[in-house]
A and B are shown apart, each in its own frame.
Chain A
């Protein structure tokens, strides 16, 4: 029977939520790695029982965990994320220069074709890859060294590489995003990189149309249209149809276009979901109401989705990696909040129900659709 497995990373451990395709009855397993921050978990598309987790904390640093049985048991693998060659400096918040220093792994992106290969986005921003199942990690240093690196500054959460999008058919093309540097694309497997930020306008930086310096919060792509990317920027929801060659704003009638999470419906490539957040100084949902906004027109026109979500006295945030969709015939949409709720909509956003309500603050949500 088909079903889903929801992988939830929180401030105090990881949780695995499973259901059949009805997505009404859930089994909750966890916490795994209790007490540790789990920034991200993600399963391999090649071998769904192989799941990767980024486990970290201020006390004992970074650990990478791998499961080969769908999250029931875990083994630590390699955790050496040494930068390639001279690291040099990047800018601190005040414009002073500070050396590149590894802090944690924000995002793990398993290969679409090889179960042994996984990409890792880290803070301070760089892209790493393992091709031996996590035993060793090597930096794809062409990104950090492509030229603009010394101009990069951290966002409020740090100088983090948080988004890795693999092209569905062209293994040479990868898109990444870094707060607060912007989006970057490689067409040669990671050797050379281009900033793809043309059309982004960021009023928070001295030159609002600068080549880099934009606080991109998250990117999303539908695999049937890999040249179309949707972006939740610090402020502004954006869209490109030429793989980042140029961006245009699609915030349209959103009540506020600040936010973190964004994703695309599994069967409808022009249906996009965002969760508007009040502002850059108030990271809670707008007007005390938890609303997902859905556009069925690829942006500009948005409708609030509220059925089953609290519409008063709600002051949570939804972080950048905390939204995902499943690939069942009727697309399920999921997101987690800093208040510890994980919500599921089994009907494309029309209705919502909390799978769990009282987890630690949710950092990430990923979904595996199981055959």
Chain B
């Protein structure tokens, strides 16, 4: 499936454009990203709690997926690679 990272995380991971991972849930997406790019550890999930960082959001098929169960299966278009899974830095501050 396809994953789009925000600008700062693409820079941190030293990648450009979309990434491709083998995953069917949000947790698997994050695990795969952190495995392929260890420098992303702690940037999307709080290392102490394992929970999503407050200013990080996940989107799938135009819907906010941030509060879905981490182990819930992602929508079919995302699994099929028709739509990307988006990791977004929330709008906040200046």
Interface residues in chain A, defined as those with a beta carbon under 8 Å from any beta carbon in chain B: 33, 35-36, 57-63, 75-76, 79-82, 101-102
A100-B13 Cα distance, complex, nearest whole Å: 30
Which one, B7, B9, B46, B55, contacts A58 given CB within 8 A?
B55
Q: Which residues of A contact B9 (CB under 8 A)?
A: 60
Which one, B8, B42, B53, contacts A36 given CB within 8 A?
B8
Most interface-central of B38, B43, B46, B93 (chain A CB within 10 A): B43
The answer to the question of B62 belonging to the interface, with a C-beta cut-off of 8 Å to chain A, is no
Q: Which residues of B contact A80 (CB under 8 A)?
A: 41-42, 47
How far, in Å, is A105 (CB) from chain B's closest CB? 12
Among all A-B residue pairs, the 10 with the closest Cβ atoms: A76-B39, A60-B43, A59-B55, A59-B89, A79-B42, A61-B42, A80-B47, A61-B43, A58-B55, A60-B8
A75-B11 Cα distance, complex, nearest whole Å: 11
How many B residues touch A, CB cutoff 8 Å?
22
**Binary contact track B1-40/A, C-beta < 8 Å → 1, others 0:** 0000001110110000000000000000000000000110
**Binary contact track B57-94/A, C-beta < 8 Å → 1, others 0:** 00000000000000000000000000000000110110
Which one, B12, B38, B48, B93, contacts A60 given CB within 8 A?
B12
Given contacts A33-B11, A58-B93, A59-B8, 10 further A-B contacts (CB under 8 A): A58-B55, A58-B92, A60-B43, A60-B44, A61-B46, A61-B53, A76-B12, A76-B39, A102-B47, A102-B48
B38 — nearest CB in chain A belongs to which residue?
Answer: A76
B89 — nearest CB in chain A belongs to which residue?
Answer: A59
Interface residues in chain B, defined as those with a beta carbon under 8 Å from any beta carbon in chain A: 7-9, 11-12, 38-39, 41-44, 46-48, 53-56, 89-90, 92-93
A60-B89 Cα distance, complex, nearest whole Å: 8
CB of B8 within 8 A of CB of A62, answer: no
Q: Which residues of B contact A76 (CB under 8 A)?
A: 12, 38-39
How far, in Å, is A128 (CB) from chain B's closest CB? 13
Most interface-central of B38, B39, B44, B90 (chain A CB within 10 A): B39
CB of B39 within 8 A of CB of A63, answer: yes
Q: Which residues of A contact B44 (CB under 8 A)?
A: 60
Which one, B8, B46, B92, contacts A35 given CB within 8 A?
B8
Q: Which residues of A contact B39 (CB under 8 A)?
A: 63, 75-76
